[in-house]
């Protein structure tokens, strides 16, 4: 079943993951940051 996830920016997500490695974000905060970035794009798209 071929599906994909839209608005996936590997570099930006990788940066968040690495902030978790350095102890600056918890795992939850990493995922929330990703959601926030995607939300911006969804918002802009719907205008």
Partner 1 sequence: MKKSKMGVLNAGIPLLLTAGLLAGCGGNNNNGNNAQSASPSASSSASASATAKASDAPAKQDVTITMTAASGDTWIRDIDKEIIQDFTAETGIKIDLQIVPADQYASVLKTKLASGESADISLIWPEANAAQFLPDNNFLDLSGEPWVSTLTDAAKKNGSYNGKFIGWGPAGEDGGWGVLYNKELFDKLSIGVPKTFDEFLAACEKIQASGVIPIFEPLKDSWHSGIWMSLMGPQANAQQAGLYEGLNSNKATFASSKVFETFVDQYKTLYDKGYFGKEAFSNTYDKGMAALQSGKYAMFMVPANQDVQAKASNPDFDFTKFAEFPSPFADNKKLAVYDGTIIRVINKNSKKIDAAKAYLSYISREDVLKKVLCRSRAQSVLQGDPGDHDRSGENAPRQL
Partner 2 sequence: MRINRITKKMYPQYLLLPAFIIYAILFLLPNLTSFYYAFTNWNMVGTTVKFIGLDNFRDIFSESSSNNGVFVNTAIFAIYTTVLKIVFGLILALVLNEGIRSRNVLRAVYFMPITLSTVLLGVMFTEIYSPDGILNRILRTFGLDSWTHSWVAEPKLAIWSIASVEVWRASGFAMAVFLAALQMVPKEVQEAAEMDGASRWQRLYHITLPFLYQAFVINTLLSLISGLKVFDLIYVISNGGPARSSEVLNVTVLNEFSKGNYGLSTAMGLILFLFVSVVYFLLNAVFKKFEVDVT
| Footprint on this chain of partner 2 (rule: CB under 8 A) | 9, 12, 15, 18-19, 21-22, 24-25, 29, 32-33, 36-37, 40-41, 43-45, 47
Question: Which of partner 2, partner 1, none lies near 40, with the C-beta cut-off 5 to 8 A by kind?
Answer: partner 2
The CA distances from residue 40 to 2, 29, 33, 36, in Å, are: 26, 17, 11, 6
- Number of residues forming the site for partner 1 (CB under 8 A): 30
Q: Tell me, what DSSP letter sits at residue 18?
A: H
Q: Which is nearer to partner 2, 1 or 5 (CB)?
A: 5
Structure tokens at 24: 């600056």
Tokens 């608005």 appear where? 7
């Amino acid at each position: 079943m071929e599906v994909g996830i839209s608005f996936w920016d590997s570099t930006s997500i990788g940066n968040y993951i690495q902030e978790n490695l350095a102890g600056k974000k918890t795992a939850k905060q990493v995922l929330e940051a990703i959601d926030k970035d995607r939300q911006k794009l969804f918002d802009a798209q719907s205008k």
